[in-house]
Amino acid sequence: MPDMRTEMMKTIQSWGVNEVQTTEKKTPLGEQIYNWIKVNPDSTIAQVKDVFGKETDSSIATTLKSLYDRGILARISVPRTNYSGIGKKNTFIYNVSSRTYETQNKGYTKVKKPKKVDIKKLIARDYSPPVQRPVAKNEFDAIEFVKTLNLYQAKDVYAALKSVFESRLGL
């Protein structure tokens, strides 16, 4: 039994067509602009717009900005020669900064999944008992306390204690 391709070729030849015409892959606008600027350095957005014949320059401007952000094109801001007081004062001149055009893979970035952490192993490995704060003893050494004070602090403590005792004892 003949295969499908052979039968199709016989049918096409019977129609009088010698070769099957294949559709060429359309080059993206960004790559077209890159190749044109590579041949024509120091190009402005108006020149690019004239060559590619777009109704609005927003698609051209967006593509140029994207190529600039990706590091494929370089740009320099220069004052407009025909500036009339309306619109932007400066325009950009574009040059190629990359040797080759690299396609941009939109939406195909590899998402890093977080690693699963085994809590039990983590706790067992990193666990150390908490530091125990020293518990204050009920014993208070007044002499040691007074030795830590300077003269002015000791005088203030004396005045405070004197007022407390006078009020309690009624002196």
DSSP string, 3-36: -HHHHHHHHHHHHT--SPPPPPPPPPHHHHHHHH
Give domain limits for the chain. Answer: 29-96, 141-171
Give the residue, 57 or 13, on which the prediction is more confident: 13
Q: What are phi and psi of 95, to 5 degrees?
A: -135, 160
Q: Evaluate whether 92 touches 48 at the Cβ level (below 8 Å).
A: no
Q: Which of 89, 106, 83 is nearest to 30 (CA)?
A: 106
Predicted TM-score (pTM) of this structure: 0.47
Q: Are 64 and 33 in contact (CB under 8 A)?
A: yes
Helix (H), strand (E) at residue 162: helix 151-169
What's the pLDDT band for 168 if we cut at 50, 70, 90?
Answer: confident
Q: Cβ(33)–Cβ(52) under 8 Å? A: yes
Question: Topology of domain 29-96, per CATH?
Answer: Arc Repressor Mutant, subunit A (1.10.10)
| pLDDT exceeds 60 at position 1 | no
Per-chain mean pLDDT for the chain: 79
